[in-house]
Amino acid sequence: MWRSVVGRHLVPALVGLVFAAPLLFMVAGSLRPPGEAPPLGLDLVPGEPTLVNYWRLPEVVPLLGYLANSALVAAVAVPLTVLVGSWAGFGIRLLQPRARRVAVLASVAVLLVPVTAVWGSRFEVFRLLGGTDGYLPLIAPALAGTTPFYVLIYVWSFGQVRDSQLEAARLDVKAQATCQQGSRMLVTVGPAGTDAVPEVGAG
């Protein structure tokens, strides 16, 4: 029992603490008074902690402007990335097995290309379009799902759906389309048919 507790809680907590150490050092450094020399050893808690650095931060950099730009880009790019990535992943899932493997391998091949390798050409394209000073370079990658990794995640997720479920969904969509078409025909032909009933009965 103790081994399971250690394996499930203590070990992950220690690993998380190791990765959280840089964050702790950053916060501790931000609490030092301005102009104070950096410590020579390990000093997590400053002798005279202060928040004056946080109050002076907007004077040094336009922090509020950066936050507003980041919030705007995230509000547009994140939903667009999810939409495009899910569409692409679902489209690949609907392919035949051979075509699906080719699409997955192509996505993996594109994923292996370093992002820095396309920065130069991407910047040149945006420069020719005159959009280097706007939000276009930040939002445009979302139109391609931002990264093939997201597409592959959706391919794997949709791959958990059985073919029988997809076929049932297709039949359901066809049935709904047939019902909607029949309803439109009734709306269009219904009045004329209603008027013709008394005439047929009289005849």
Instruction: Give helix 52-60 / helix 63-93 axis angle, nearest 10°.
Output: 80
- Say how far apart CA 135 and CA 28 lie, in whole Å: 34
pLDDT digits (tens, 9 = 90+) for 95-141: 898 999 999 999 999 889 888 888 778 888 888 887 777 888 888 88
Q: What is the model's pLDDT at position 58?
A: 80
Structural contact between residues 58 and 38, judged by C-beta atoms closer than 8 angstroms: no
pLDDT of 197 > 50? The answer is: no
Instruction: Give helix 63-93 / helix 97-111 axis angle, nearest 10°.
Output: 150
Q: What is the model's pLDDT at position 6?
A: 64
Q: Alpha helices, DSSP H only, in the chain? A: 2-5, 11-30, 52-60, 63-93, 97-111, 116-129, 136-139, 148-159, 163-202
pLDDT digits (tens, 9 = 90+) for 48-83: 788 888 888 888 888 888 888 899 988 999 999 999
Domains in the chain: boundaries? 7-60, 63-182
pLDDT cut 90: percent of the chain above it: 12
pLDDT of 8 > 80? The answer is: no
What does DSSP assign to residue 46? -
pLDDT of 1 > 60? The answer is: no
Pick the closest to residue 151 from 162, 142, 160 (CA basis): 142
Structural contact between residues 154 and 94, judged by C-beta atoms closer than 8 angstroms: no
The model's pTM is 0.63
Low-confidence winner among 150-154, 179-183, 188-192 (lowest mean pLDDT): 188-192
pLDDT of 175 > 70? The answer is: no
Pick the closest to residue 155 from 104, 112, 82 (CA basis): 104
**pLDDT band, very low/low/confident/very high, at 7 (cuts 50, 70, 90):** low
Of residues 177 and 121, more confidence is placed in 121
- Say how far apart CA 203 and CA 201 lie, in whole Å: 5
